[in-house]
Structure 1
């Protein structure tokens, strides 16, 4: 009975970058009505689900990444599922000039930007010995510099004069669905896949399971909404309690990395 009740509380999710076929509003459908969110990395994964849930709550969105085809396809799905506007744009968060051009286009289209979701990330879960110099630099350039670049550009172009909300979602350890740490304004999550499940990584998590994209998106929705009006400069931990109980087992992480490395990408 307890397991059934717990399972019933887990919100539905979809594999891949597809919109939810059914969505139950736990909060008012007009929670973000009239607002505009600029979401980097919004064409796939967690960013895609955040865009969807924001749009389901009345928000218009800009989804931006290096791959214009990906965000264009994602935009069509999001508009069809929610009926809200979604502008796909191509940017590279490592290059401030591309961010500036995208923000200018977004402001020309929507006249405002209320929320910035820094979701673009480049990540590898592997031993340091297997991480190339260029791979490490890529992670730092996208996750750290990219977050700063986008925040600074948007601040200078709009937030300084009008105010706004910044939510940072930076994956610091991820590899093919391995346990993923996410900072969202900041939030930290555990999202697992088959590799982590097979290695029994979830047994040490109090909730005994991985999180899903919908749960992370709900957390971002809270941070971006008036419900968090007196919350700032903090870390929202969304990881099923694993930070309290999970051992720092390097050998277990290596097992998961090895299992993922042997699977096709």
Structure 2
């Protein structure tokens, strides 16, 4: 089910045909964050290809997104492993054959789970880094020649988990730190070609897959994490959509090599787990069943 609808256009800040004739290529497009990014671009005139591992989920999401705008073309390509650049390259070939070009690339395929270092195996760490970091590199690599033709733009989906040490998220923090470095380096290397590269770092966004796990309500029905966010509220999927549209729009034509943090100022306050530290870490380290 789509998150956005025509009200994003009629009651929004952007021109309805802002991205008319543009094509966006999205990894992880059936996931919560990347799906709403795709919806926003399609509503504003773009056509899209979303890719993912799960064939049924990806094709279903594409069909639903296509219904958001009359005349839109949204293709879902499942069975794609972002850890394989050849797998992504085949999806790029389909995109160019069916839609003619690629103007924007969103690298958003990601994997995450909660684990302390003591119980985080080497294979588990490798899995997250391979999907998040290597997958982002492979996405950029496979689409580069097409972006070169259109002088397009990359947008990587990052996080704020590496801005300070966060227990139980070291694997994701390490991967996303690499994603930021990748995006920044591409901005410098590809800038002379007219290609821009930026990243977006969402905070706690309501309705996303990790929200319930990371921000459970308190016993009184409130939420302690929300109270620690400077803006005193959680983010919404529309917040991510708005930031995405801006970074791909002509308004950001001189913006490259930036990390757009969309978290209500939360990362400036420090770790979400500060009230639980160090008790949860001590308990995790005392468990003798460590993994290698």
TM-score by length of structure 1 reads 0.80
Aligned counterpart, 1:149? 138
Q: 1:229–1:71: structure 2 CA closer, same or farther, 3 Å change rule? A: same
Give the Cα–Cα distance (whole angstroms) in 2 for the partners of residues 172 and 71 of structure 1.
Answer: 27
Aligned counterpart, 2:200? 187
Larger Cα Rg: Structure 1 or Structure 2? 2
Give the Cα–Cα distance (whole angstroms) in 1 for the partners of residues 93 and 125 of structure 2.
Answer: 31
Aligned counterpart, 1:88? 76
Say which SS state the counterpart of residue 231 (structure 2) adopts: coil
Aligned counterpart, 2:106? 117
Say which SS state the counterpart of residue 146 (structure 2) adopts: helix
Aligned with 1:222 (options 246, 250, 265): 246
Give the Cα–Cα distance (whole angstroms) in 2 for the partners of residues 208 and 129 of structure 1.
Answer: 34
Q: 1:226–1:92: structure 2 CA closer, same or farther, 3 Å change rule? A: same
Where in structure 2 are the equivalents of 1:207-246 lying within 5 Å? 207-246=231-270
The CA RMSD measured in Å over matched residues stands at 2.6
1:63 and 1:89 in contact (8 A); partners too:
yes
1:62 and 1:87 in contact (8 A); partners too:
yes
TM-score by length of structure 2 reads 0.73
TM-superposed deviation, 1:251? 5.4
Query: CA offsets per residue over residues 3-39 of structure 1, 9 Å max, x none?
Result: xxxxxxxxxxxxxx43335433221111111100001
1:99 and 1:150 in contact (8 A); partners too:
yes
TM-superposed deviation, 1:112? 0.6
Aligned counterpart, 2:3? 19
TM-superposed deviation, 1:247? 4.4
Say which SS state the counterpart of residue 58 (structure 1) adopts: coil
Give unmatched runs, 5+ long, in structure 1: 1-16, 259-265
1:205 and 1:246 in contact (8 A); partners too:
no
Give unmatched runs, 5+ long, in structure 2: 162-168, 184-197, 206-210, 219-223, 284-292
Query: CA offsets per residue over residues 198-240 of structure 1, 9 Å max, x none?
Result: 2511211111121121211211111111110000011111110
Q: 1:212–1:228: structure 2 CA closer, same or farther, 3 Å change rule? A: same
TM-superposed deviation, 1:100? 0.7
2:36 and 2:238 in contact (8 A); partners too:
yes
